[in-house]
Homo-oligomer: A and B are copies of this chain.
Amino acid sequence: MASSLPTQPPHRPEVPEVVIARLPQYVRILSRLLEDHVDVVSSQQLGEKLQVTPAQIRKDLSYFGRFGKQGRGYSVNSLLERLRQILGLNSYWNVAVVGVGRLGRAIISYPGFTPDGFRLVAAFDANPAVIGDSVGDLKISPMDDLKDMVARQQISIAIVAVPAEKTQEVVDLLTDCGVRAILNYAPITPQVPGGVRIRNIDPVISLQSMTYYLSGSDNR
């Protein structure tokens, strides 16, 4: 080969964030199929459930190696196992909840975390009136204990459900303590340092992304 040709980088290409963001959907769908004793699934079937094209499914999965055989579909069990491994879901992640108002309590009561790899192990609030209260199995701790508990319980993920005007401050504190992934429920987009991931759960943004399609064409 001529040396002027571009050479392949020695490591895998970076996987686009939009592909990573779809993988949990694959995991959910494959888990359901496994529960229903389905052994093999085609990219066509996966595409219908995910509302993307079969070609997109094959392209998404091709980032991670070869899955399935041409025309034979994917083994539900092996694909699920491999995707769980890729996403780091083969062991539990310890999670802290910060802000235990009405929303924080609803989050703590949500039964879906544990079966899917997340253990809520600590809850914090700034309001002295609720510190020491229990929500489910969790006792609410003061913010002053956050740093110690994050270190001691190896918490790398936090769910933040505090008022919007307090959110950036709480996010700063968490990242200072070594938390590397944050799920934020306040209707703002907090800034995080490089290397820290954040996702925002915001019902208004979700609603506004649908009204476009409800509006008459005169709105467009």
The oligomer's copy count stands at 2
Size of interface on A: residues with Cβ below 8 Å to B:
59
Contacting A106 at CB < 8 Å: which of B20, B23, B102, B204? B102
Residues of B contacting A74 in the complex (Cβ-Cβ under 8 angstroms): none
**Alpha-carbon separation in the docked complex, A213 to B49 (Å):** 25
Digit string of A54-98 for contact with B (CB within 8 Å is 1, else 0)?
000000000010000000000000000000011111100101000
Residues of B contacting A201 in the complex (Cβ-Cβ under 8 angstroms): 201, 203, 206
B85:A23 contact, CB within 8 angstroms: no
Residues of B contacting A90 in the complex (Cβ-Cβ under 8 angstroms): 219
Give 13 pairs: A residue, B residue, CB < 8 Å, sorted on A. A28-B189, A28-B205, A49-B189, A64-B220, A87-B215, A88-B212, A95-B207, A110-B203, A157-B210, A183-B203, A183-B207, A197-B210, A201-B206
